[in-house]
Amino acid sequence: MGIEKLTDKEEKQEKIVTMFDDIASTYDLANRVLSFGIDIQWRKKGCDKAFEILDKKELTQVTDVATGTGDLLIYWKEQAKKNGVKIDKYVGIDPSVGMLDVARKKVDFAEFIEGKAQKLPIEDESTDVISISYGIRNVVDRVEALQEFNRALKPHGIVIILEFTKQDRRGVVNKIVDFGMKKVLPRVGGLISKNYEAYKYLPDSIEEFLTTEMLAKELEEAGFEMKYIKSFSMGISTLLVAQKI
Ligand SMILES: C[S@@+](CC[C@H](N)C(=O)[O-])C[C@H]1O[C@@H](n2cnc3c(N)ncnc32)[C@H](O)[C@@H]1O
């Protein structure tokens, strides 16, 4: 019996998850400082759009994948109340035990399960909504994950993705944004988390990621109909909402 060797993809995925374990305790603080709190608006808009498109007042389950410290679940609950929507069950899924430890202390109304986007620990057609905020960029087997979202969603269920997609950054303003993302962000994030590499990974992984159009195409290929795309704050963050066909 030998020790099973990880494939290159599996090794890459393990490294990413370990990095999130390492920064879990300072993750929320770094997030708020680096986005000046604007991410809260981006998150709320994502939840509101999903409720508008779903057009249902009672949902059995909302599942937040790559939930991290569970932040988005807080806004799912707040916005559900504002929109008069009743949600029976909130579930957060993430492979990082460190991030889930923080989530469990912070969010007491949700169930948290260790798991990966490409192999969700939930039943077929069991959830009305799947959300993934700033997570899909970290999923090495992204195509498998989008197919998995389709499997786990109920018919006409909604997937919402918030992400830093790759942008064509030409022009003066875009150059300033680029400088902030590549030079300032890793230093500030590094100071807060004491892990420069983790915050250097952020702009690097955006550079390696898909454009919004490419991500929308992958969603369509995985069996979704695109319903809404909006970019916020000079294209720093993008919201994609798609419905299972
Ligand atoms: C940038 S954090 C985002 C956390 C949270 N969703 C938020 O909005 O703050 C990315 C998260 O993706 C998780 N992650 C990495 N690889 C994953 C995978 N294959 N499946 C699901 N989650 C993954 C990490 O553990 C981390 O918690």
81-120: pLDDT as tens digits: 999 999 999 999 999 999 999 999 999 999 999 999 999 9
CA of 73: how far to CAs of 4, 59, 67, 178, 181, in Å? 36, 14, 8, 30, 26
69 is in an annotated binding site: yes
Instruction: State whether the beta carbon of 161 lies less than 6 angstroms from ligand 1.
Output: no
pLDDT at 2: 61
Decide if pLDDT at 235 tops 90. Answer: no
Instruction: State whether the beta carbon of 95 lies less than 6 angstroms from ligand 1.
Output: yes
What are the residue boundaries of the structural domains of the chain, listed by start? 8-244
Q: Which atom of ligand 1 is nearest to the CA of 39?
A: 8
94 is in an annotated binding site: yes
For the stretch 44-82, pLDDT in tens is 999 999 999 999 999 999 999 999 999 999 999 999 999
- The sign of the dihedral angle between the CA atoms of 229, 243, 62, 146 is negative
Instruction: State whether the beta carbon of 107 lies less than 6 angstroms from ligand 1.
Output: no
Domain 8-244, architecture per CATH: 3-Layer(aba) Sandwich (3.40)
pLDDT at 50: 97
Cα–Cα distance for residue pair 172/180, rounded to 1 Å: 13
pLDDT confidence bin for 169, thresholds 50/70/90: confident
Q: Which atom of ligand 1 is nearest to the CA of 27?
A: 9
Q: Whose CA is nearest to atom 19 of ligand 1?
A: 139
Q: Whose CA is nearest to atom 14 of ligand 1?
A: 66
Instruction: State whether the beta carbon of 117 lies less than 6 angstroms from ligand 1.
Output: yes
C-alpha of residue 20 to centroid of ligand 1, in Å: 8
Decide if pLDDT at 234 tops 90. Answer: no
Kindly give the residue spans of alpha helices, DSSP state H, lying in the chain.
8-23, 27-35, 39-54, 71-82, 97-106, 142-152, 172-179, 185-193, 196-208, 212-221
Mean pLDDT of the chain: 95
Ligand 1: which of 11, 94, 120 to mutate, most ligand atoms within 8 Å of CB?
A: 94
C-alpha of residue 138 to centroid of ligand 1, in Å: 6
pLDDT confidence bin for 1, thresholds 50/70/90: low
